[in-house]
Structure formats: C-alpha cells, structure tokens
C-alpha cells in the first residue's frame, strides 16, 4: 500500500495568498484527520472526517481555514488568506473502523506532511 499521500511536500508562499494542501488517505480507510505541528504548540488536531463528513472542526484556528472531503479518496485543507503565523507542518492521517475514529483501537496512519512557509 502506498500509505497516506500528501502534496505538496513543501510550500512557500507570500502572506495573503491562498494555500491548498492535499491528502489522499489509504484506500479503504473511512476516517481522515488533519493536524498541524509547530514548535510552539506541538501537534494539534484541526479537523477530522468520517465517511467524508466533518465530525469535529473545533481545532480549526479561524475562518481563514477550511477543509473538504468531496470523496473517500481525497481531502483538501485551504488557508485563505495565509499569514506568517500559519507556517507549520501540516499532517494528514487516516484510519479504518466502524466508529469513524471514535475508538482508539483504530490506528491512525500519518502522511509525510506538508511543510508550509508563509513569508
């Protein structure tokens, strides 16, 4: 299996620009998670989906952030407009389970991350 695929791996943009991060979960997985990792705040859950439906987006920092999952094999995280404080590594993870990630037995598999730098 190819694992979780994220693109791009690196993104450098200027403040005010729109940024779109992409994720392809492991085939057959029904839950998808977006995380952000920074030195100051560590690893934070932004949002997660089960069967393409957003379950909890309480971690999304503000309205500039939005996430979609139009089908079982693709998700996007969009930042518009981007700001320097959005600079971080963004991880996507997926899992398989009947509860949609609500049971801890459902291991999350992480992608390699997208390293975002907003100038």
Partner 1 sequence: AQSVTQLGSHVSVSEGALVLLRCNYSSSVPPYLFWYVQYPNQGLQLLLKYTSAATLVKGINGFEAEFKKSETSFHLTKPSAHMSDAAEYFCAVWYNQGGKLIFGQGTELSVKP
Residues that bind partner 1 (CB under 8 A): 4, 42-45, 48, 55-56, 58, 91, 93, 99-105, 107-113
What is the nearest approach in angstroms of partner 1 to the Cβ of residue 119?
A: 21
16/103 with CB nearer partner 1: 103
Nearest to 36 by CA among 62, 1, 73, 74: 62
What is the nearest approach in angstroms of partner 1 to the Cβ of residue 16?
A: 28
What is the nearest approach in angstroms of partner 1 to the Cβ of residue 90?
A: 11
81/112 with CB nearer partner 1: 112
What is the nearest approach in angstroms of partner 1 to the Cβ of residue 42?
A: 5
For the chain, what is the HEC assignment?
A: CCCCEEECCEEEECCCCCEEEEEECCCCCCEEEEEEEECCCEEEEEEEEECCEEEECCCCCCCCEEEEEEECCEEEEEECCCCHHHCEEEEEEEECCCCCCCCCCCCCEECCCEEEEEC
81/89 with CB nearer partner 1: 89
48/65 with CB nearer partner 1: 48
């Amino acid at each position: 299996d190819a694992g979780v695929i994220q693109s791009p791996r690196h993104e450098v943009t200027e403040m005010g620009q729109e940024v779109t991060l992409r994720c392809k979960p492991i085939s057959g997985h029904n839950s998808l998670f977006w995380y952000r990792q920074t030195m100051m705040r560590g690893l934070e859950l932004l949002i997660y989906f089960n069967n393409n439906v957003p379950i909890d987006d309480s971690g999304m920092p503000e309205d500039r952030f939005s996430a979609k999952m139009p089908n079982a094999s693709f998700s996007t995280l969009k930042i518009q407009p981007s700001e320097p404080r959005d600079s971080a590594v963004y991880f996507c993870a997926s899992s398989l389970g009947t509860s949609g990630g609500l049971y801890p037995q459902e291991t999350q598999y992480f992608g390699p991350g997208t390293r975002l730098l907003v100038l």
